[in-house]
Amino acid sequence: MPPKTSQYIAIQTTAPTKKEARKIAKSLLKKRLCACIQIRKITSLYEWQGAICNEKEYLLQIKTHKKHFEAIALFIGKIHSYDTPQIISLPIESISEKYQKWLDKSIN
């Protein structure tokens, strides 16, 4: 039987610099609110204050338990340099048993 996965999510946020992305990632890992964070360089297009913006950013994908979403969102909101940072969660529908055990062990 596949592991129950509704309790796991991937939170995504972006940061304007690699330095800020790493600061967010290291802080969340030290607090044991997540097990793993992947950081990728991306290009974002969005509307902000009436203008279309085309920006280089860093995307953080944060793997965690659903119960930690609010704590992570509050923490990111406090230290982020953006007025309105993207903070969204995506459900993890399937997960290998070994990875699930490691995830559980890595998170408070």
Q: What is the pTM of this model?
A: 0.90
8-103: CATH class: alpha beta
Summarised one tens digit per residue, pLDDT across range 25-66 is: 999 999 999 999 999 999 999 998 999 999 999 999 999 999
Domains in the chain: boundaries: 8-103
For the CA atoms of 30, 20, 73, 45, what is the dihedral angle to 10 degrees? -150
